[in-house]
Amino acid sequence: MIAGYHSFAAAAAFSLIVGIAFFIGTVTNAARADGKTSERHRYRIEAYLDARRHIVEATEWIDWYNHSDTWVNQLYFHLYLNAFKNDRSVFMREQGFRLRNQKLRRPGRIEIVSFQTTNGTDLLSKSSTDLIPNDATQMVTTLPRPVPPRKTLSLVIKFRAYLPQLVARSGYDREFNFVAQWYPKLARFCSDGRWISFPYHGLGEFYADFARYQVSVNVPSSYIIGATGKRTASRLEGMRRIDTYSAEPVHDFAWCAYPYFERFVFSTAGPRVYLLAPHGYRAVIGHHRRAIRAGLRRFGRLFGAYPYETLTVIIPPKGAEGARGMEYPTLFVTSGPWFHFPKLRVPFANSQTVTIHELAHQWFHGLIANNEVEAPVLDEGVAQWASADLLRALYGRSRSGLSLGNLSFDIFELIRAAFYWKKSPYPSSLLAANRYSADELIYSVYLRPPLVFETARRVWGKAKFERAIGNYARTQRFRHPTLNDLFDSFNRVYWPRFARDFLIPALTAESTFEARITELRVQKTEHTWQTSLTAVRPDRTTIPTWIVLHHRYGGQTKIAWPAGQATLKTIHAGNREVVAATLDPYRSNLLDPSLLDNNSAVKTKTRSGALLALLLFWAQSFLEVIGP
Amino acid sequence: MRDHSITRNEPVPYSTGQPLVPAWRLLWNVRRATLLIFLFRSAFALSLSLPAADLVDISSYRHPQASPIPGGDALLLVEIVREALPALRQKALIGIGIVLLYLLLVPYLSMLWLCALDRPGPIQNSGIEASRRYHASFLLSLLFLFAIALSISASFCLYRLLQQALWSGCIDAVRDLISLAFLLPGSLLTLFLFVLHDLSRAALCSEKRILNAIRLGMRATFRPPNIASYLYWFGLAALLTLVSALVMLFLDSGPTRSCLTLFILLQITALGRTALRGRWWISALRFIRDQKRPNSASFRP
Ligand SMILES: [Zn+2]
């Protein structure tokens, strides 16, 4: 198709700025046999939404470019909507926890009506979905003639997407349609000629090449659409409207259609933001807008500017909660109530947390497109740190997590408290997504990595950390990094073995970074007070920390405890009496599993009278309610 | 046990037509019973709060002079609870046991208090009367516990049903507010049951039979001024709590912060609320009396 060439030129120019290596790759691949100048795959889809039956009928044209040096005789496709075909698919088995209370009232699937090359060779008969028993989310097609290196293969697929009742990510609820993972999509093809394909997993889904998309959607004219990319054309045809969207370079395309959306548009320093919310959400729009603006600014500064012209944010209506909290290129689905209290930031009335997390995904998975199944820590783990960091930038460290009058929490301390609530150790954070149970995924991928990253930031300083993660984000933009790329970036900024010394032991939970004060004794000699202090770090790997001695009547003495030293024994003599000692007083080591042994007071335990008085009163009040 | 004695020598003040003692004077006259109730409850409360205080006390883990964790000091609680979980489970069981024992004693205590307020005299007499009525009072409370639980769960179900059933194009705020509004009838019913429970217990002072007591209580509850009176005394108790919370906030930041001040303030509040509760019981007893003498029914707050 012709439309969209301008945006392609802009993106090609952009790649020049982003990375020389990438640029060289693209230029050498630019010449093509058919005379067009594209080294990126191209998808063009014309889709018709049957809003009553929740079926999308579509024709898809794919120009697939063999950017490897090998001849390719097989194509791998994802037919991820087939995950909802029955409850035996990999997705449904892995997602069982989510669906326990909701039966799939209407299954969903993709039906391929025809599949040909543009010159008419049938490929449907040469395709099979039997890669995994009971799971039809992948399709392999054997080509009659292999595709030579640097050549393009053009395909036409006619298909029908039957949307499932919305339980997770894709589907419909009454008039709301969320159309994601809905078209036959090529799996990731590596430059060494390998395909990387996996079924639709319950806890990980994206890994695909960047491509150029042009999608036109035909919907009843009363429906409001949110979609990946920028709307380039819109026309009415009787009672229907046809909107065309272009996006490049992105690795997926999702859209949603609902007649009862209210559309809020606002500009930022970067993209134009389209916020679609059900009626009645006016009160929280400003709240979301503030989070999005601040996020675009901060993430742009840390990880490189948001490169697209649009960002679409969707708040799903009640009943369609299955779609919420999900990220797609240039589009994400947030959640949150229709009300909010400016002075009160508690989980149930908080509209910003999900928005910020999903916005962080625009970088970590949208632009820096790692394999989500192989290394979920690279998208979820890093996005969690980035979103917590943004909350800190917005509200200050001590109020970043929660603020309720005088009660306020640091978001990282909250994450830490949640992570260490159970004492049992969770598996390494570096496993593949499908190797975790849902519970383990939350602890190992969502909670531990932000603590590890933040500990690195607090112990060795903000500047170093931001340089390391920023370099990683900028050099890996529009690429498919692995864990090693992240570690290399840290090694370059910190020291050559930093990942081995700190990141890997912390992320794999090889080390606990436990530290504790074991003894604090104070003796009075003739003229001086003698304080002897012993502290231990039982683990092999250690990080530098501080110990503070508190004097009676105020004042402190700071003692440095460098890394590598397992036991600290120190005798401090002075003319002031020491009454307590605190290990890691600035709370840099968020990985220490126990805080209670980080403090030691000379004074022995006394019962707090105020606490007892309060507890007694509460107990009296309770007994009053149930009593005479 | 037979209840002959009650019917034989029941000194019913309202039937003799003796003048009504002013309510606060009456409360003062029976201060011993009121104080007994207060002390009894406080003893139970203390046995609940002592083990809890041992578990939760942060000061034993941190020196007051130690620098606070920025935005995370209170999270030490999580750690303490985690460390103390095995001990906590055991203490929670003991706590539940204490509450159950208290609940078993409630029917007796409430009858003792009511009888003392209804027929002031030596506290031993009230004790004896309360023990005679324990069985009826226990059954009555059990019945109301069941009814109140039913009413609360019914209104919750209605809320959930409406949340599901309302049309998807409906504005979320409107749907939520409509569903919330439908919690109102359930709440009113629950309030009605609370008042009815109190008035039926008051009626049990002069009625042997549970059903008669409930009928009397029902008649009294259907008079709006009586419900208003309940809300009035309940509201005063809530106001008292609020005021003491405000004073506490001031104490917390002010220079006069001390455990003893806090303790005294809270205990005065608790005692004050017990007195207000006693004052409501006096009104409740008079409402029942009015029901028995329909010709002189009048509202005296
Ligand atoms: Zn996420």
**Predicted local distance difference test score (pLDDT) of residue B60:** 64
For residue B244, the chain A residue with the least C-alpha distance is A617
Provide the β-strand partners of residue A373: none
Spatial CA neighbour of A326 closest among A361, A275, A277, A376: A361
Q: What CA dihedral angle connects B214, B216, B221 and B226, to 10 degrees?
A: -140
Residue A30 has pLDDT above 90, yes or no: no
Question: What pLDDT does A27 receive?
Answer: 31
Q: What is the pLDDT of residue A62?
A: 96
Work out how many CB contacts closer than 8 A connect A with B. 194
H-run or E-run covering A551: strand A545-551
Closest listed residue to residue A315, CA positions, set A297, A338, A298, A292: A338
Nearest to B56 by CA among B82, B77, B35: B77
Most confident of A124-133, A438-447, A497-506: A497-506
User: Given B83, B171, B173, which is nearest A596 (Cβ)?
Assistant: B83
Reported as a pLDDT band with limits 50, 70 and 90, residue A434 is: confident
pLDDT of residue A49: 97
Q: Measured in whole angstroms, how far is the alpha carbon of residue A324 from the centre of its chain?
A: 13
| Each residue's pLDDT tens digit, A361-389 | 999 999 999 999 999 999 999 999 999 99
Beta-carbon neighbours within 5 Å of ion ligand 1:
A 380
B193 touches chain A (CB under 8 A): no
Residue B252 has a pLDDT of 62
**pLDDT score, position A18:** 34
Q: Tell me how far CA of residue A85 lies from CA of A81, A111, A135, A174, A184, in angstroms.
A: 8, 11, 9, 19, 15
- The secondary structure of A120-166, three-state, reads CCECHHHEECCCECCECCEEEEEEEEEECCCCEEEEEEEEEEECCEC
Q: What element of type H or E holds B100?
A: helix B85-118
How would you label A268-306 residue by residue, b for 16+ Cβ within 10 Å and e otherwise? bebbebbbbbbbbbeebbebbbebbbbbbbbbbebbbeb
Cβ atoms of A429 and A410 closer than 8 Å: no
A309, pLDDT greater than 90: yes
Going by C-alpha positions, the residue among B41, B37, B46 that lies closest to residue B95 is B46
Residue-level pLDDT at A262: 93
CB contact under 8 A, B42 and A620: yes
Compare all CA atoms of chain B with the CA of A611 and give the residue at the minimum distance.
Answer: B53
- The pLDDT of residue A600 is 79
Residue A204 has pLDDT above 60, yes or no: yes
Measured CA to CA, the distance from residue A217 to residue A413 in angstroms comes to 46
Q: Which residue, among B69, B175, B194, would best test binding to A if mutated, counting the most A CBs under 10 Å from its CB?
A: B69
Higher pLDDT, A88 or A430: A430
Rounded to an integer, what distance in angstroms lies between the CA atom of residue A189 and that of residue A62? 14
pLDDT at B58: 65
> pTM for the full model?
0.82
Higher-scoring residue by pLDDT: A114, A434: A114
Cross-chain Cβ contact B71/A585 below 8 Å: no
pLDDT for res B200 = 94
Query: Which residues are CB-contacts of A468 (< 8 A; sequence separation ≥ 6)?
Result: A489, A490, A492, A493, A494
A617 neighbourhood in chain B, CB within 8 Å? 266-267, 269-270
Contact between A174 and A162 under an 8 Å Cβ cutoff? The reply is no
Question: What proportions of chain B, in percent to the nearest 5, are helix, strand and coil?
Answer: 80, 0, 20
SS3 A365: helix
Among A335, A624, A625, pick the best mutation site for testing chain B contact (most B Cβ within 10 A).
A624
- Tokens representing A345 are 């930031």
Mean pLDDT of chain A: 87
Mutate to test the interface with B, among A522, A556, A615 (most CBs of B within 10 A): A615
| pLDDT tens string A111-123 | 999 999 998 899 9
Which helix (H) or strand (E) segment holds residue A356: the answer is helix A352-361
Nearest CB neighbour to B168, from listed A175, A594, A606:
A175
What is the per-residue pLDDT for A206? 86
Taking CB atoms and an 8 Å limit, are B168 and A619 in contact across chains? no
With an 8 Å Cβ cutoff, are A596 and B66 in contact? no
| Contact of A49 with A177, CB cutoff 8 Å | yes
- Of the candidate ranges A296-300, A401-405, A408-412, A451-455, the one whose mean pLDDT is the lowest: A401-405
What six digits make up the tokens of A368?
């820096």
**Band of pLDDT at residue A46, cut at 50, 70 and 90:** very high
pLDDT tens, A131-143?
A: 888 899 999 999 9
pLDDT band at B23 (very low <50, low <70, confident <90, very high): confident
Report which residue type is found at B80: I
Mean pLDDT of A323-342: 88
CA B124, CA A494: separation in Å to the nearest integer? Answer: 82
Q: Is A319 helix (H, G, I), strand (E, B) or coil?
A: coil
Asked, as a colleague might, if the bond just before A220 is cis with ω within 30 of 0, I would say no
pLDDT over threshold 50, residue A3: no
Pairing of strands A152-162, A138-147: unpaired
Residues B274-279, mean pLDDT to the nearest whole number: 93
What does each C-alpha distance from B236 to B232, B243, B245, B265, B268 come to in angstroms? 6, 10, 14, 17, 14
Instruction: Give yes or no for residue A185 having a pLDDT over 50.
Output: yes
* B170 or B24, higher pLDDT: B24
pLDDT the model gives residue A12: 34
For the residues A245-266, what does the mean pLDDT come to?
95
- Do the Cβ atoms of B49 and A319 come within 8 Å? no
Looking at per-residue confidence, does A191 or A103 come out higher?
A191
pLDDT for residue A352 is more than 70: yes
Q: What is the pLDDT of residue B66?
A: 65
Chain B residues whose beta carbon lies within 8 Å of the beta carbon of residue A606: 59-60
N-terminal to C-terminal alpha carbon distance within chain B: 37
CA of A395 to the centre of ligand 1 (A): 21
Q: Which of A31-45, A62-76, A255-269, A304-318 has the lowest mean pLDDT?
A: A31-45
Distance A199 CA to ligand 1 centre (A): 19
Nearest CA among A567, A501, A511 for reference residue A537: A567
* pLDDT average, residue stretch B212-237: 92
Q: How far apart are CA A172 and CA A81, in angstroms?
A: 13
3-class DSSP state for residue A276? strand
**pLDDT at residue number A412:** 93
Q: Which DSSP helix (H) or strand (E) runs through B134?
A: helix B123-165
Amino acid at A492: R
pLDDT above 70 as % of chain A: 90
B298 has a pLDDT exceeding 60: no
CB contact under 8 A, A401 and B57: no
Find all residues with CB under 8 Å of A598, minimum gap 6, and list them.
A515, A516, A517, A582, A583, A584, A592
Listed by start position, the domains of chain A span: 6-377, 378-508, 516-623
pLDDT at B30: 86
* A63 sits in which H/E element: strand A55-65
> How far is A276 from A314, CA to CA, in rounded Å?
5
A75 vs A86 pLDDT, higher one: A75
In this structure, are residues A547 and A561 in contact, taking their beta carbons and an 8 Å threshold?
yes
| Paired tokens of B154 | 């019914």
| A380 CA from centroid of ligand 1 (Å) | 5
Q: Is the pLDDT of residue A9 over 50?
A: no
Average pLDDT, chain B: 82
pLDDT higher than 90, residue A609: no
**Spatial distance between the Cα atoms of A610 and A303, rounded to a whole number of angstroms:** 49
Q: Is the pLDDT of residue B62 over 70?
A: no
Residues 6+ apart with CB under 8 A from B107: B134, B137, B138, B140, B141
Q: How far is A185 from chain B (nearest CA, A)?
A: 32
Give, in order, the Cα–Cα distances in Å from B120 to each of A492, B11, B13.
Answer: 87, 11, 10
Mutation target for A interface from B171, B268, B285: give the one with most A CBs within 10 A. B171
Contacts with A319 from chain B: Cβ below 8 Å: 168
H/E segment holding residue A8: helix A5-18
Segment B123-133 mean pLDDT: 90
The two structure tokens encoding residue A255: 């859209």
CA distance A402 to chain B (A): 9
Specify whether the CB–CB gap between A273 and A292 falls below 8 A.
yes
Question: How far, in Å, is the centroid of ligand 1 from the Cα of A361?
Answer: 7
Which pLDDT does position A422 carry in this prediction?
79
**Beta-carbon count within 10 A of A203 CB:** 24
Q: Any idea which architecture A6-377 has in CATH?
A: Sandwich (2.60)
Backbone angles phi, psi at A312, to 5 degrees: -115, 130
Cα separation values, A476 from A19, A26, A205, Å: 9, 15, 20
Q: Is the pLDDT of residue B221 over 60?
A: yes
Q: Nearest 10 degrees: CA dihedral of A573, A577, A583, A587?
A: -130
Give how far Cα A324 sits from Cα of A18, A278, A364, Å.
32, 13, 18
* Closest chain B C-alpha to A165 CA, distance in angstroms: 14
**Could you give the CA distance from residue A325 to residue A139 in angstroms, rounded to a whole number?**
28
Of A107, A75, A77, A76, the C-alpha closest to A89 is: A107
A516-623, CATH topology level: Immunoglobulin-like (2.60.40)
B218 backbone φψ class: left, alpha, beta (φ>0; ψ -120 to 50): alpha
Q: What is the average pLDDT across A581-589?
A: 89
Q: Is A573 helix (H, G, I), strand (E, B) or coil?
A: strand
Higher pLDDT among residues B228 and A16, named by residue: B228
Q: Do domains A6-377 and A516-623 have the same CATH topology?
A: yes
Section A528-541 average pLDDT: 88
Contact A210, B204 (CB under 8 A): no
pLDDT for residue A385 = 97
Span from the CA of B109 to the centroid of ligand 1 (angstroms): 57
Q: Is 90 exceeded by the pLDDT of residue B267? A: yes
A130-144, A241-255, A437-451, B78-92: range with highest mean pLDDT: A241-255
| CA-based nearest residue to A203, from A236, A172, A173, A168 | A168
H-run or E-run covering B82: helix B76-83
Nearest residue in A to B112, CA atom: A628
Query: What DSSP string runs through B262-278?
Result: HHHHHHHHHHHHHHHHH
Say whether residue B224 is in contact with chain A using an 8 A CB cutoff. Answer: no
No. of H helices and E strands in chain A? 16, 32
- Topology (CATH level 3) of domain A378-508: Neutral Protease; domain 2 (1.10.390)
Task: From chain A, pick out residues whose CB is under 8 angstroms from the CB of B53.
Answer: 607-608, 611-612, 615
